[in-house]
């Protein structure tokens, strides 16, 4: 199996969970030392070997080479977990064009690039399963996350359309849309004083177990936590009411941010 974003919070937890189940994991991200540390942890815990693929998902050449390495070593790929991602928070006009492009490049094009490299293998095998990690921000817009939402909406669209195309091929695709997860990506946000009384982040381990479940049951989509799933469902029927609910929470968070900025 191949896990992108393996040097980060969710990718790491997912690699450990799958290795515990006996999977042979190929760990893909740019930070080689972190991948090496994870591979050695997997070797110690589970006596499994983790193949290190130090590659950038924005480079189709590096990704193709990485997938060739996986095929040389394991001769098949049963799962692809697309977890590589970046986020830049800011009001829309304060995001630079480079930041907007980076989110689209990594989150959407990176996901598409990895699928394009792995899918021919899975189609030849007539089996395989892909999990795309989008976000609740891929199902509903949130302020300060315009560029991130756009990139994750793109991942959602890709996943739904490809699911239809792949029907009957033996290759499945699942879409995972988590809310805030306790990982390095959300560390700055979650370290704001008082924020954890407002938001209870999901643990990366819980996300990893959800991914295990999704591939075992070939689930089409999973949105968590349940409270955000309800707001997303409500959004399709009453978007202004969903705006109101989200705005109330965002205002409370904005108050915490200004309070923390005012502190010396």
Q: Which residues are part of the catalytic machinery?
A: 148
Per CB under 6 A, the list member of 15, 181, 211, 223 interacting with ligand NAP is 181
Q: What size, in residues, is the chain?
A: 264
Interaction between residue 178 and ligand NAP (CB under 6 A): yes
User: Nearer to ligand NAP by C-beta: 67 or 106?
Assistant: 106
Interaction between residue 162 and ligand NAP (CB under 6 A): no
Tell the smallest beta-carbon distance from residue 14 to ligand NAP (Å): 9
How far separated are the first and last CA of the chain, in Å rounded?
A: 48
Per CB under 6 A, the list member of 2, 15, 29, 231 interacting with ligand NAP is 29
Which class for 99: exposed (0-12), middle (13-18), buried (19 or more C-beta within 10 A)?
middle
Interaction between residue 231 and ligand NAP (CB under 6 A): no
Per CB under 6 A, the list member of 15, 26, 118, 180 interacting with ligand NAP is 180
Residues that bind ligand NAP (CB under 6 A): 4-11, 29-31, 34, 56-58, 83-86, 106, 110, 133, 135, 178, 180-181, 183-186
């Amino acid at each position: 199996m191949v896990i992108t974003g393996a040097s980060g919070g969710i990718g790491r937890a997912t690699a450990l969970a799958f290795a515990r189940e006996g999977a042979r994991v190929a760990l893909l991200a740019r930070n080689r030392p972190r991948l090496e540390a994870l591979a050695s942890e997997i070797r110690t815990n589970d006596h499994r070997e983790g193949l290190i693929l130090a590659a950038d998902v924005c480079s189709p050449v590096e990704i193709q080479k990485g997938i060739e390495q996986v095929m040389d070593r394991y001769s098949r790929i049963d799962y692809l977990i697309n977890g590589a991602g970046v986020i830049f928070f800011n009001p829309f006009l304060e995001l630079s064009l480079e930041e907007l492009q980076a989110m689209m490049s990594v989150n959407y094009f990176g996901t598409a690039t990895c699928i394009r490299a792995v899918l021919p293998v899975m189609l030849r095998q007539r089996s395989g399963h892909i999990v795309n990690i989008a976000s609740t921000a891929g199902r509903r817009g949130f302020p300060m996350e315009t560029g991130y939402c756009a990139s994750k909406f793109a991942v959602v669209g890709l996943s739904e359309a490809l699911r239809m195309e792949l029907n009957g091929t033996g290759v499945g695709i699942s879409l995972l849309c988590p809310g805030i997860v306790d990982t390095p990506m959300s560390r700055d946000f979650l370290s704001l004083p008082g924020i954890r009384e407002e938001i209870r982040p999901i643990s990366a381990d819980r996300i990893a177990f959800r991914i295990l479940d999704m591939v075992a049951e070939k689930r089409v989509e999973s949105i968590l936590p349940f409270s955000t799933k309800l707001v997303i469902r409500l959004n399709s029927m009453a978007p202004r009411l969903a705006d109101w609910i989200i705005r109330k929470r965002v205002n409370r968070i904005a108050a915490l941010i200004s309070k923390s900025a005012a502190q010396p």
